[in-house]
Chains A and B, each alone.
Chain A
Amino acid sequence: MLTEQSELVAQVFCEVMEKLAFMFGEPADKQRSAPPESAYIQTKMTYTGQTSGMLALTVPASLCPQIAANVLGIDPDDERAVAGSLDALKEVLNVTCGHVLTTLAGETPVFDLSVPRTSTLDANQWTDLLDRADTVALSVEDSVVLLQFAQGRQA
């Protein structure tokens, strides 16, 4: 069961993916999510302002070149898509974070966003993340991606 906030974050992510990468996402059932893959890429960023928090996007490593290819408008086998995989994923998160903040807080407050960082997750870490209450599972191009949004203190 998604909270209203999680639904909004998921909706914003899907809109960004559609506009930026021409890929379509929809909520996925956590209980029926695809079996774990061997490697995942997670990109994470924080924000500070009237509230502070964190947004993280975790995708199967195999999906990254496809996202980069779509953002760049090139073939997934193109070496530029492979080289730009992490970069494109960070950009998807960066754009999503900006739009999530205006969706939730409006256009008046100013937030400072951190530069997105990436790391590699294994299948166990993926499963732990999937089980978290603040994680939303979404299906993108037959892959399951996880979006985690954690809002902290009110300034």
Chain B
Amino acid sequence: MSLSVLIVDDSATVRAVIAKTLDLAGVPVAHIYEASNGKEALHILAEHDVDLLFSDINMPVMSGVEMIEQMAACGLLEAICVVVVSTEGSATRIEQLKSKGVSAYLRKPVAPETIRRVVNDIMGAEKC
């Protein structure tokens, strides 16, 4: 099954790196959407079906945390696997995000094999 993926990060470089990493990791991808902040991401989610979402936390306009809270309020986290990819290493923050329904948390910099392992793990989960 090929996945529809949304990558949310204010850095075009990071979006390109994640897209390349998915390719290197052999993750089957049908389409990649990109957004530079949470607000743009919510617009894309309103118009397109997405299976897997990678998101940063610290972004201008709307942060990853705000975006995830709005996705939770709309019930979107029950249908979309969200992987947070951030530089932050606070265990408190990670637990807060997981309690909201985030599937996985990866700390930058992320190796391709880590992306592949996480995608394989969460694609086996029921909601995906």
Contacts and interface: CB of A to CB of B under 8 A. Distances in A.
Given A71-B13, A88-B13, A115-B59, A102 B109 contact: no
A84 B20 contact: no
Interface residues of B, number: 23
Given A19-B109, A73-B20, A95-B109, A107 B91 contact: yes
A56 to B, nearest CB: 16
Interface residues of A, number: 29
A78 to B, nearest CB: 12
A84 B93 CA distance: 29
A19 B17 CA distance: 13
B58 A94 contact: yes
Interface string B54-76: 00001110000000000000000
Q: Determine chain A's interface SS by DSSP, over half rule.
A: helix
Contacts of B107: 98
Contact of B12 (A16, A87, A110): A87
Given A73-B20, A87-B12, A91-B14, A99 B90 contact: no
Given A20-B109, A115-B58, A94 B90 contact: no
Nearest to A15: B109
Contacts of B92: 107-110
A22 to B, nearest CB: 10
12 contacts: A16-B109, A19-B109, A72-B16, A72-B17, A73-B20, A80-B16, A94-B87, A94-B108, A97-B87, A98-B88, A108-B90, A111-B90
Lowest 4 A-B CB distances belong to which pairs? A98-B87, A102-B89, A107-B91, A20-B109
Interface of A: 16, 19-20, 68, 71-73, 80, 84, 87-88, 90-91, 94-95, 97-99, 101-102, 107-115
